[in-house]
Amino acid sequence: MDFLTDAAGIKTMTQLALIIDLNVCVGCHACVTSCKEWNTSGWAGPMTDFNPYGEDPTGTFFNRVQTFEIGEYPKTETVHFPKSCLHCEEPPCVPVCPTGASYKREKDGIVLVDYDKCIGCKYCSWACPYGAREIDEKQKVMKKCTLCVDRIYDESLAKNERRPACVMACPTSARLFGDIHDPDSEVSETIRESGGYQLMPEWGSKPANHYLPRRKNRITLHRDELERADNPLKKEGILPEPPSDQKTLDETTSW
Amino acid sequence: MKITYSELKGKSPGFFIVLGVLAAIAAIGLGSAYYMEHEGHHVTGMSNQIVWGLPHIFALFLIVAASGILNVASIGTVFGKKAYKPLGRLSGLMAITMLAGGLAILVLDLGRPDRLVVAMTTYNFKSIFSWNIYLYNGFLLIVGVYLWMMMERKMQKYYPYAGFVAFIWRLILTTGTGSIFGFLVAREAYDTAILAPLFVLLSFALGMAVFLLYIIIAFQSCDRPLGDGLLQRMKKLLGIFVASVFYFVVVYHLTNLYLTNQHAFEAFILLNGGIYTFLFWVGYILIGTIAPLAIFYHPTFGQTRHAVTLGSALILVGGWSLLYVIIIGGQAFPLEIFPGKEVIESSFFDGVVASYAPSLWEFLLGMAGIAIALIATVLGTRILPFMPDTLDDAVVNPQAD
């Protein structure tokens, strides 16, 4: 995929983003582990863990899953909510960075941190309204989701693998990836047609990542639709149980 | 009688013991900064939720106090109060040393203090943090020039101008410090312009309290006379500063209490926030505000030197507590990302009140900042004539306009 040109080869402004379908996410954390696996060994790594198997583990994660309860008991439901950097179009973390280490790429809208310029003052962490900033406790610089920038442009990978690790790993395809500025892209269409929304739009940060809401799928069925037209006995319902002492098929045949 | 100044003699065992103890505290603190830098931030109590911990409280305490200490000089220079003029030199010196101590902590508490040169050479001019780097450096420079003009006979005709610039600069500086928090849109505790004047008033109170404590101890240690009349006059002003800080704190919380969406945060700070609630009510309100005001304005005890000493010390405890509540408490309260929904589980401690237990290393680094500031002050007064030979009431005339 070439994010910089449209079908006619004209350069367009691009904003790459993730679309996460909360209706489909089952909270399995596959996105969390695949993100960690790819990024800890890549450009953004290592993503240090301390005491990972002990009582009080800490570590750097670019993607986290929160679980919410909605409604009043007993009429409640559970929502799993994967959260990573939302790659805001007006990112509050960028203007506050004293050295300019935190920046937004013009060519694809990805918000990144230049680890060599970051002094670890952590002020961006204060400014991010979504708590997406991560201090790497060993390297002592701020890190965050890169949208797998070291993967999506890697031409040594097959085309269908040039997607963020979390998108590749999601077993329910709850995560989509693409250019939300391209009205014809799959993600733009999904946002339009499935009610994609931004997290806390009132901050004015215009997060690029969108979420698809929980949806109740309902269907109205009429009685005649429940009756089979080819029902030979013209009778619906469970067939009568055979007597318990009747021999089974295995007992009456030799196969 | 003319005011004369002289260096400390600096030959007594007490002088070297004080310096030795302070140097030991500074060395231990620098050692713990090295340890934290070497091992990584997991040895501290800080986390992704509480990113600024105890060292920042010490650092901001010193920085805020530094700008406030300069008020003593400004009252003499800018507002022309003669009784304060003999204190101008020491006030300028302490403003520089306290700021240096605070900045030492800030820099050593950075994730990458080794990249200080990056911070000093690569600026993002949109960042309030960058503005503060300029404000701090500018403060050191301007107060240095102010002191030079104050102490150099040939330059004395210019020093009122320098004093005026320094006064304006210090107001901007503390406004900048408060705005580091006031400019944060996304957290319930901040995103309010009132934090800037609150910090300015807090600097008035902390600076005056630190200065009073220092001169009481230093003049007694050096056997230099210090008149009670002068102390009483400064104490009265300090009481007004303390009441003013209280006013801003009340307006801050009343505003929040009026806004429904801030009720959860206010309940956290004022009612059920554990250590933060305790530090607010006991540390700030009781110890840091009510007690010093009661002591200062007590008809008999208030007139004694002990009252000034005790009240000033309590104000420092209160200011420290208030900074802790504002900075750590504000971070501990979870970000409101999903209004109306309750986080029931998170593999990563999101959406819940963050816990923060400061490590010993952080405390030692904070103490080192105070020690560095005091060492620089003591050495400064040893090398150059910052301290008046006498501040006796007969010499200073504490009632002078």
Contacts (Cβ under 8 Å, ≥6 apart) of B95: B66, B67, B69, B70, B73, B139, B143, B170, B207
**Residue A43 pLDDT greater than 90, yes or no:** no
**Residue A239 pLDDT greater than 90, yes or no:** no
Q: Model's pTM, two decimal places? A: 0.89
Token pair belonging to B157: 């005709």
Q: How far is A37 from chain B (nearest CA, A)?
A: 17
Token pair belonging to A119: 């002094």
**Residue A6 pLDDT greater than 60, yes or no:** no
Residue A139: CA count within 13 A, CB half-sphere: 20
**Cβ contact, residue pair A121, B341, below 8 Å:** no
User: What DSSP line would sit under A93-155, residue for residue?
Assistant: HHHH-TTS-EEE-TTT--EEE-TTT-----HHHHH-TT---EE-TTT-SEE---TTHHHHT-T
Token pair belonging to B373: 């500031």
Report if residue A228 sits inside a domain. no
**Cβ contact, residue pair B337, A199, below 8 Å:** yes
Return d(Cα B197, Cα B204) in angstroms, integer: 11
Signed CA dihedral, B397, B298, B301, B317: sign only: negative
B41: chain A residues, CB-CB within 8 Å: 135, 137, 140
Whether B20 contacts B27, CB under 8 Å: no
* pLDDT of B41: 84
**Residue B31 pLDDT greater than 90, yes or no:** yes
Q: A45-54, A225-234, B23-32, B352-361 — which one is most confidently predicted on average? A: B23-32
Range of A181's domain? Answer: 16-212
Q: How far is A196 from chain B (nearest CA, A)?
A: 16
CATH code of the domain containing A78 = 3.30.70.20
**Residue A1 pLDDT greater than 50, yes or no:** no
**Cβ contact, residue pair A67, B124, below 8 Å:** no
Higher per-residue confidence, A235 vs B396: B396
* Helix, strand or coil, per DSSP, at residue A254: coil
Residue pairs between chains A and B whose CB atoms are closer than 8 Å: 146
**Cβ contact, residue pair B346, A67, below 8 Å:** yes
**Cβ contact, residue pair A121, B186, below 8 Å:** no
Q: Which domains does chain B have, with CATH numbers?
A: 11-333+356-384 (1.20.1630.10)
- In the numeric block, the tokens 């109060």 are attached to B81
Which residue of A29, A69, A135 is in closest CB contact with B48? A135
Helix and strand counts by DSSP (H, E) for chain B: 15, 3
Question: Which of A86, A114, A121 best probes binding to B when mutated, by most B CB atoms within 10 angstroms?
Answer: A121
**Cβ contact, residue pair A126, B123, below 8 Å:** no
Which residue of A65, A66, A97 is in closest CB contact with B124? A97
What is the bridge-based pairing of β-strands A16-21 and A210-212? parallel
CB of A126 less than 8 A from some CB of B: yes
**Residue B126 pLDDT greater than 60, yes or no:** yes
- In the numeric block, the tokens 């680094």 are attached to B365
Provide mean pLDDT across the span A24-49: 91
The distance of Cα B107 from the centroid of its chain, to the nearest Å, equals 16
Provide mean pLDDT across the span B37-46: 88
**Residue B167 pLDDT greater than 90, yes or no:** yes
Counting residues of chain B whose pLDDT is more than 70, the rounded percentage is 97
**Residue B337 pLDDT greater than 80, yes or no:** no
* pLDDT of A12: 60
Q: Pick from B69, B78, B75: which is nearest to B163 by CA?
A: B78
Return d(Cα B160, Cα B79) in angstroms, integer: 10
Report if residue A198 sits inside a domain. yes
Q: How far is B329 from chain A (nearest CA, A)?
A: 13
* pLDDT of A55: 79
Provide mean pLDDT across the span A225-240: 70
Q: How far is B188 from chain A (nearest CA, A)?
A: 10
Provide mean pLDDT across the span B162-190: 92
pLDDT tens per residue across span B214-235: 999 999 999 999 999 999 999 9
Report if residue A5 sits inside a domain. no
Strands in B342-346's sheet, in edge-to-edge order, are A77-84, A63-70, B342-346
* pLDDT of A235: 67
**Cβ contact, residue pair B129, A121, below 8 Å:** yes
Token pair belonging to B48: 């992704």
The distance of Cα A125 from the centroid of its chain, to the nearest Å, equals 22
Q: How far is B273 from chain A (nearest CA, A)?
A: 20
Q: How far is B107 from chain A (nearest CA, A)?
A: 9
The chain A residue lying nearest B123, using CA atoms, is A99
Return d(Cα A142, Cα A150) in angstroms, integer: 18
Whether B15 contacts B68, CB under 8 Å: no
A206: chain B residues, CB-CB within 8 Å: none
B123: chain A residues, CB-CB within 8 Å: 98-100
Provide mean pLDDT across the span A217-237: 75
pLDDT tens per residue across span B237-262: 999 999 999 999 999 999 999 998 88
pLDDT tens per residue across span A196-219: 999 988 889 999 999 999 888 788
Which residue of A64, A67, A119 is in closest CB contact with B110? A119
Report if residue A131 sits inside a domain. yes
Return d(Cα A48, Cα A52) in angstroms, integer: 10
User: What DSSP line would sit under B311-373, residue for residue?
Assistant: HHHHHHHHHHHHHHIIIIIHHHSPP--STT-EEEEETT-TTSPPP----HHHHHHHHHHHHHH
Provide mean pLDDT across the span B107-123: 90
A50 confidence band (pLDDT: 50, 70, 90): confident
B349 confidence band (pLDDT: 50, 70, 90): low
Which residues 51-110 of A are in CB contact (within 8 Å) with B? 51, 58, 61, 64-70, 78-79, 81, 83, 92, 95-100
Return d(Cα B309, Cα B36) in angstroms, integer: 35
pLDDT tens per residue across span A70-124: 878 888 888 899 999 999 999 999 999 999 999 999 999 999 999 999 999 999 9
A150 confidence band (pLDDT: 50, 70, 90): very high
Which residue of B123, B128, B350 is in closest CB contact with A96? B128
Residue A178: CA count within 13 A, CB half-sphere: 18
Q: Pick from B30, B348, B114: which is nearest to A141 by CA?
A: B114
Q: Pick from B90, B96, B19, B89: which is nearest to B65 by CA?
A: B96
Report if residue A1 sits inside a domain. no
Higher per-residue confidence, B328 vs A13: B328
Report if residue A219 sits inside a domain. no
Return d(Cα B303, Cα B232) in angstroms, integer: 7
* pLDDT of A2: 47
Report if residue A251 sits inside a domain. no
Q: How far is A16 from chain B (nearest CA, A)?
A: 22
* pLDDT of A254: 72
Q: How much is the mean pLDDT over chain B?
A: 93
- Cα A182 to Cα A12, A139, B82, B217, B262: the distances in Å are 8, 37, 71, 70, 39
What is the bridge-based pairing of β-strands A49-50 and A58-59? antiparallel
Report if residue A175 sits inside a domain. yes
- Cα A196 to Cα A18, A20, A22, B318: the distances in Å are 11, 9, 10, 49
A236 confidence band (pLDDT: 50, 70, 90): low
B126: chain A residues, CB-CB within 8 Å: 95-96
**Cβ contact, residue pair A119, B115, below 8 Å:** yes
Structural domains of chain A, count: 1
B351: chain A residues, CB-CB within 8 Å: 66
* pLDDT of B131: 93
